[in-house]
Amino acid sequence: MKTPPLLLCLFSVAIFPTSLLPQQKLTADNLPDFLSRYDTNFGPLDAIFKDLTNENLPLTDETGQPLARRPLADRQQSLANLRQTALQLAEKPEDLVLATKLVIRTESLADDLFDLSQVAYDNDREELGNKLNNLQVTMEDNKGLLADYLLTLAADKENRLQQLEKEVDDLHQKLKAGEK
């Protein structure tokens, strides 16, 4: 029995509800709440990675060449790093470096999930492939929201920097005028 794609999408949104409503944007105020929902993805994903290490799913072809880009142990470490970055950003939502790391690591995770879903499909593991694909779509959506937040945060930081530079220039002008 094939599951209709719409049903799979609805199922993935119900299980992994990290997205905001379409009209909402991430802000420093709602980012910690979003990241706490974002964190709910990591438990099922970690379980899938652990299952994959214990399963007989070949991650290499007949010649021993990798079907996937990286070993599962690397992916599990990347997942742990991503989770830690998300927790740190929830504590410091204005941190531009953490926001950048989170976007990059989320994109990398989405790529890994796509890669693994293709390996699962190639090995006639449709259910696993669907789970990985649903998680990949969720991570792509999250990446988009986080990237928009990152760009807004960077623009705000740039505007503040320009404002401070103007204030310093004004102070220099006043100092020069006072010396004359």
Distances (CA, A) of 12 to 32, 104, 138, 177: 22, 22, 8, 65
Q: For 122-176, write each residue's pLDDT tens digit.
A: 888 899 999 999 999 999 999 999 999 999 999 999 999 999 999 999 999 999 9
- Is the backbone of residue 7 left (phi > 0), alpha (psi -120 to 50) or beta? alpha
Q: What is the pTM of this model?
A: 0.79
Residue 107 token pair = 């994109």
Q: For 107-118, write each residue's pLDDT tens digit.
A: 999 999 998 898
* Closest listed residue to residue 129, CA positions, set 115, 141, 118, 140: 118
Q: What is the mean pLDDT of the chain?
A: 84
